[in-house]
Amino acid sequence: MARLVSSWYKNVKNMPEEYIFPPDKKPGKFITACTENNPVIDLASLDHDPAATIQQLTKACQEFGFFQVINHGVSEIIIDDTSNVYKEFFDLPSEEKAKYLSVDPKSHCRLYTSTYNYATEEKHFWRDNLTHSCYPLEDCMQFWPEKPIRYKEIVGAYSAEVRKLVLKILDLICDVLGVEKGYFSEELSGVNLLSVNHYPPCPDPTSALGMHSHCDPNLITILHQGTIHGLQVLKDGQWIWAEPLPHAFVVILGCQMQIISNDKFKSAEHRVVTNSEEARTSLGTFVLPSPECYVEIAKSATKASNPQRYKSYRYKDFIGTYGDKSGNHKEVLSSYYLP
């Protein structure tokens, strides 16, 4: 099993060759990205100007494929406590973290470095990841790490609050899409995974990547990224920063949202760059359909001038295709296009 970057990075001064990406993939000077205004949705404004908020959200879903939310109702104390628990987790001695090492995507709690394909991939990503289910809590908490000792209490509280936010955001998207509220709240969002990425300081951020350019295969991702730059989104052919806003959540539309909306919305293509100063830890809640869930385009998203573009499928088949095509989202989406 490959060793976690968080366990050895302090002992290296120069970039190991296996982390140096070729010129066409490495961030190089684009490490600085562009500071284009990010769409920021103030959920408090829903009370006094819902129409304007829905309009902002519509533009964000159509043009950016992501947005940030503020005044979202998740307690800042719980967010800070959770971030601290994960800092402590990745600082635990290697022997403690070794208990959770696994590259089996079926394992209930898996800690790994780079990707599940570490053994066969040409280059590695400068990240460690811990993933486990976070909904329903009573079914999954037994599989969570035992250390730090506050883990279950804090991460449990965080997961419960984020699930409420997930449902709130999905219901707002229902308004944008013209479907009834609750459309996404059962099987289409039946699985929630907490996926925590930890990117230790990196000796050469221009050569390395925390994560390659990708679209999330799921429905939506609700990400807390803290205060350190790292996440970039491709907008009109340019990398822009998802600006770290204190205590905000970044909401990334996944491939399922693009398909269900019949391409009205776009799924944001994004990547993560590293920095040499500080470790960055992002808390991602991946919201995805249950494996057997049948995914189809919302009726409200089709009309005579814009007929149904994709075939319907079971989510588990989509994920199989995503894996077979190594996450190349353009190829994956086009394999579901109707002729």
Ligand X SMILES: O=C(O)CCC(=O)C(=O)O
Binding site for ligand X (CB under 6 A): 195, 197, 211, 216, 223, 225, 230-231, 270, 272, 282, 284
Residue whose C-beta lies closest to ligand X: 282
What would the DSSP string read from start to end of 144-212? S---STTHHHHHHHHHHHHHHHHHHHHHHHHHHHT--TTTTSSGGG-EEEEEEEEE---S-TTT--SEE
Q: Closest CB to Fe ion among 83 and 282? A: 282
Taking the complex as a whole, the smallest distance from the CB of residue 145 to Fe ion amounts, in Å, to: 22
- For residue 190, the one-letter residue type is G
Taking the complex as a whole, the smallest distance from the CB of residue 220 to ligand X amounts, in Å, to: 12
Q: Does residue 293 contact residue 257 with C-beta atoms inside 8 Å?
A: no
Taking the complex as a whole, the smallest distance from the CB of residue 132 to Fe ion amounts, in Å, to: 17
Nearest to 166 by CA among 108, 223, 214, 231: 223
Q: Does residue 268 contact residue 233 with C-beta atoms inside 8 Å?
A: yes
Choose from ligand X, Fe ion, none: what does 258 bind? Cβ within 5-8 Å by kind: none
Q: Closest CB to ligand X among 53 and 282? A: 282
Nearest to 328 by CA among 269, 252, 253, 265: 269
Taking the complex as a whole, the smallest distance from the CB of residue 68 to Fe ion amounts, in Å, to: 15
Q: Does residue 320 contact residue 336 with C-beta atoms inside 8 Å?
A: no
Choose from Fe ion, ligand X, none: what does 131 bind? Cβ within 5-8 Å by kind: none
Choose from ligand X, Fe ion, none: what does 65 bind? Cβ within 5-8 Å by kind: none
- The residues of the shown chain that bind Fe ion, judged by CB under 5 A, are 216
Q: Closest CB to Fe ion among 125 and 151? A: 125
Q: Closest CB to ligand X among 207 and 216? A: 216
Taking the complex as a whole, the smallest distance from the CB of residue 155 to ligand X amounts, in Å, to: 17
User: Distance between CA 304 and CA 95 in Å, rounded?
Assistant: 60
